[in-house]
Amino acid sequence: MKNMKDIRQTLREQVSSDRFKYKLIIYSITMVHVVLLVLFNFLHIWPMVVVNIGSVAVYMKCIGIIKSGEEHEMIKVFYMTYWEIIIHSFIATICVGWWFGFPQYIIGLIPFGYYMCATLLEGKRRYMIATALGLIAALSFIACRSLSLFAGAIFPLELPVAAELLIYIFNSVCNFVFLFMVTVIFVWDMQRITLQLRSQNVALDTMASIDPLTGLYNRRSMQDFFYRVLKAEIDFSLIMCDIDNFKRVNDSYGHDFGDVVLKEIAHIAQQQMKDKGYVCRWGGEEILILSTDSLDHTCEAAERIRHDVEEHVFRCRGKELHCTLTLGVAGHRAGTIIEDTIKHADNRLYHGKQNGKNLVVTPYNSQ
């Protein structure tokens, strides 16, 4: 349901940002009427000359509305186009007959109507209006045909068969070009909408998987990483990290400074791990690292993180501070329970906290 709302919103935005598409349609229809104006003038069908002059005037008004940039006025362009085509088809049928193909333009109104109503109207009424207009168009087409059966043309044309066929082909080609243009616009819009929705979904996935403060993966993401490595049945290691005396930092220097400490320690951890694992904000000031490197190399990386944090100077609003980090390392063997590995890393972290802090406690020095 949300995706449909996104699609409709994006379609409405297209009306504002891509008015050239609608100008293209209106200019094309205007040119058709200019050609018909010349044709009927040549044939001396004066009522149709007047009608086509009026039609050109209508479309010039439509072009003015499109150029004005008023979105709420765009529906007027559609209604004016809709009724002009129906009225023109009726009058042309009455004047010169059915066989020249003027009522064919009514057929193109049905897909055009659904597209325009979907982009410009709100709620369920857009479907009702589009359907009602589609039925009116269908009935108008049938009415033109019925009218031609019971009433002859007012201005019967004595033209060669080739000339009659040429006019019919012209109207047919114009109608198919109109249908083609509407279809291409619809497909183009849907492709753009699909790309935009994909981009939005990627952004939403990123928001759902990344901690907004530190830029680290969040706990949900780490659970996904656990699932992948456990499914692959590979060995890996965990590093549980906790900032020493973090509550004192917040109480003494304020939460803004605490946020700076968190973000910069997160950056240090990311720099050390790079492509060798995943760094996650596990909760509060705790950071959990899943290392795909060997246990020995993971212990070395943990020591480098500890050292870099100890040497780093944290600055905020003219104040400087040194912080330390305590880390617990545990190796995971394929087939064992991940919760046990997390518990081992957490216990070693706790052991480091109890024995002076600013330590890396590994399976090699935990006894």
Report whether 99 contacts 170 (CB < 8 A): no
Q: Within 10 Å of residue 327's Cβ, how many Cβ atoms?
A: 27
Q: What is the pLDDT of residue 289?
A: 95
- Quick one: pLDDT at residue 8? 54
How far, in Å, are 100, 231, 276, 302, 337 from residue 332 at the CA level? 82, 13, 15, 16, 8
pLDDT, tens digit, for every residue of 161-177?
899 999 999 999 999 99
Angle at 131 between CA 124 and CA 168, to 5 degrees: 150
Catalytic one among 158, 285, 286, 339? Answer: 285
Least-confidence region, from 15-24, 46-55, 135-144: 15-24
Q: Is the pLDDT of residue 18 over 80?
A: no
Q: Residue 16's pLDDT is what?
A: 44
Return the DSSP state at 222.
H
pLDDT of residue 237: 95
What is the arithmetic mean of pLDDT over 197-220? 84
Q: Provide the whole-model pTM.
A: 0.60
| pLDDT at position 260 | 94
Burial category of 108 from C-beta neighbours within 10 Å (exposed 0-12, middle 13-18, buried 19 and up): buried
Share of the chain above pLDDT 90, in %: 60
* Rounded distance between C-alpha atoms, residue 8 and residue 197, angstroms: 12
Whether 285 is catalytic is yes
Q: Which residue has the higher pLDDT, 321 or 22?
A: 321
> 253: exposed, middle or buried (C-beta count within 10 Å: 0-12, 13-18, 19+)?
middle
Domains of the chain: 2-207 (no CATH), 219-361 (3.30.70.270)
| Mean local confidence (pLDDT), 243-254 | 92
Mean pLDDT on 188-201 = 82
pLDDT in tens, 291-305: 999 999 999 999 999
Q: What is the mean pLDDT of the chain?
A: 88
